[in-house]
Amino acid sequence: MNAIDGSSHVEVNATGQTPSLLTIVIDTNPRGWAALKDTLPFSKAIANILVFINAHLAFGNDNQVAVLAAHSNKAVWLYPKSPHSDREPNGSTDGDVEMKDVDDDKDRGNANKYPQFSAIESSILSSLQSLIKSTLPSTLPPTTLIAGALSQSLSHIHKTSLSFAPPKASTDPAAPSTAVTLTPSQPTLHARILIVSVSDSEPSQYIPTMNAVFAASHARIPIDTLSLSQHCSPTFLQQAAVITGGVFLSAALNPRGLLTYLMFGLLADAEARNSVTLPTQDSVDFRAACFCHRKVVDTGFVCSICLSIFCEVPQGAECLTCGTKLALGSYGANPAVVPRKKKKRKKALNGVMDRDASGSAAGTPVPG
């Protein structure tokens, strides 16, 4: 049939686009945003992030997004909302589901907006307002719970990837086989994490942060970071970008260009990054935090069993993590200087130096 009209027909199989899940972690530390209020207010930053989210969703119908707030003392879901957000203030539920009128103007949204964009914007803004109202300045720690937000992000990504996984093959030999066999080059979901940071890395969170980073690296989930503050340096997030193959950008010199950094440097997903040149870091701070005092150190003592890091020798030279007796040897002692042995020169026989003593193949001629 292909030769009827004298042309060659080729069957083309339509392949769907692989869904992409973008998980955004927004650092909502009030102290960090207070330092940026003159250059980049928090409201403008959220508006730019919403535009970035809409651009990600517009790339494909199957693309998804999740947004978390890494607050000073907790990690809160902004979108999708956590089921615990429907609890009453005393922490209990009455068992009834709140019914809302579909004709309510508040839930109807703007008719000129795409419904999904409007739903995400409404959820993020309402959750942020609730978070800000529940924040008390008297009990506000200076830290940011990045480690908890990373753990929740990885859990959400794993749960979402299970929904996109192909059905398992049936163990019944009589049943028809409907399972789809995928090769490692055909992922079912492209997932990545983006952290918008305005605070410094907390040394006390070094261990849980690195645990989450190594878990993301094992799952091939890149962690991108956009730092906005010039007074803070997210040291651990720089290491996270290198370990997971992500991107680290610093917008400290021009925080007002937040949307430009997001659109041109962080919009490409894992599949598109194979065809583009990503920004690179000039220098990376690979310092670690000690396990004893939780402070970032340049040099320290490392346990050979559990690889725990200490800024000084623990009491009794015993590892505080696994209890192993640390053998320090002669650490700190001055190196011993061994004197060099002098070679004895042999006496000349009949006016001619010995060949071994002179170092030459033939004897030294003697003047007549």
pLDDT at 95 over 50: no
Query: Is residue 362, in this structure, part of any structural domain at all?
Result: no
Query: Is residue 169, in this structure, part of any structural domain at all?
Result: no
Query: Is residue 103, in this structure, part of any structural domain at all?
Result: no
Count Cβ atoms below 10 Å from residue 31 Cβ, excluding itself. Answer: 16
One domain, residues 238 and 205: yes
Domain boundary among 237, 254, 286: 286
Encoding tokens for residue 104? 């309510």
One domain, residues 272 and 308: no
CB 308 within 8 A of CB 324: no
* Amino acid, single-letter form, for residue 33: W
What pLDDT, on the 0 to 100 scale, is given for residue 89?
Answer: 42
Whole-angstrom distance, CA of residue 247 vs CA of residue 186 = 23
One domain, residues 265 and 313: no
* Average pLDDT taken over every residue of the chain: 79
Decide which of 94 and 198 is more confident.
Answer: 198
HEC assignment per residue over the chain: CCCCCCCCCCCCCCCCCCCEEEEEEEECCHHHHHCCCCCCCHHHHHHHHHHHHHHHHHCCCCCEEEEEEECCCCEEEEECCCHHHHCCCCCCCCCCCCCCCCCCHHHHCCCCCCHHHHHHHHHHHHHHHHHHHCCCHHHCCCCCCHHHHHHHHHHHHHHHHHHHCCCCCCCCCCCCCCCCCCCCCCCCCEEEEEEEECCCCCHHHHHHHHHHHHHHHHCCCCEEEEECCCCCCCHHHHHHHHHHCCCEEECCCCHHHHHHHHHHHCCCCCCHHHHCCCCCCCCCCCCEECCCCCCEECCCEECCCCCCEECCCCHHHECCCCCCECCCCCCCCCCCCCCCCCCCCCCCECCECCHHHHCCCCCCCCCC
pLDDT digits (tens, 9 = 90+) for 183-231: 555 678 899 999 999 998 888 888 899 999 999 999 999 999 999 988 8
pLDDT digits (tens, 9 = 90+) for 26-63: 999 998 899 999 999 999 999 999 999 999 999 888 89
One domain, residues 238 and 313: no
Structural domain count of the chain: 2
Encoding tokens for residue 24? 């955004």
Q: How do beta strands 190-197 and 223-227 pair?
A: parallel
Residue in 128, 256, 241, 258 with CA at minimum distance from that of residue 196? 258
CB 135 within 8 A of CB 30: yes
CATH number at residue 270: 3.40.50.410
What pLDDT, on the 0 to 100 scale, is given for residue 292?
Answer: 84
The whole-number average pLDDT for the span 65-93 is: 75
One domain, residues 210 and 233: yes
Residue found under tokens 């730019």? 48
One domain, residues 315 and 218: no
pLDDT digits (tens, 9 = 90+) for 248-300: 999 988 999 999 999 999 999 888 888 888 887 767 777 888 888 778 888 88
Domain boundary among 286, 303, 338: 286
Domain range for 33 is 20-84+108-164+188-286
One domain, residues 211 and 275: yes
Count Cβ atoms below 10 Å from residue 24 Cβ, excluding itself. Answer: 27
The whole-number average pLDDT for the span 119-139 is: 88
Query: Is residue 183, in this structure, part of any structural domain at all?
Result: no
Query: Is residue 200, in this structure, part of any structural domain at all?
Result: yes
Question: Confidence class of residue 346 from pLDDT cuts 50, 70 and 90?
Answer: low
Question: What is this structure's pTM?
Answer: 0.73
Query: Is residue 74, in this structure, part of any structural domain at all?
Result: yes
One domain, residues 271 and 311: no
Encoding tokens for residue 16? 């769907």
pLDDT at 1 over 50: no
Question: Confidence class of residue 8 from pLDDT cuts 50, 70 and 90?
Answer: low
One domain, residues 129 and 249: yes
Whole-angstrom distance, CA of residue 88 vs CA of residue 351 = 111
Domain boundary among 236, 260, 286: 286
One domain, residues 272 and 291: no
Question: Confidence class of residue 94 from pLDDT cuts 50, 70 and 90?
Answer: very low
Residue found under tokens 């508040």? 106
Residue in 231, 241, 28 with CA at minimum distance from that of residue 141? 28
What pLDDT, on the 0 to 100 scale, is given for residue 4?
Answer: 53
Count Cβ atoms below 10 Å from residue 307 Cβ, excluding itself. Answer: 11
One domain, residues 41 and 155: yes
Residue in 99, 95, 200 with CA at minimum distance from that of residue 142? 200
Query: Is residue 75, in this structure, part of any structural domain at all?
Result: yes
Query: Is residue 14, in this structure, part of any structural domain at all?
Result: no
Residue in 219, 254, 218, 223 with CA at minimum distance from that of residue 238? 223
One domain, residues 237 and 314: no
CB 257 within 8 A of CB 164: no
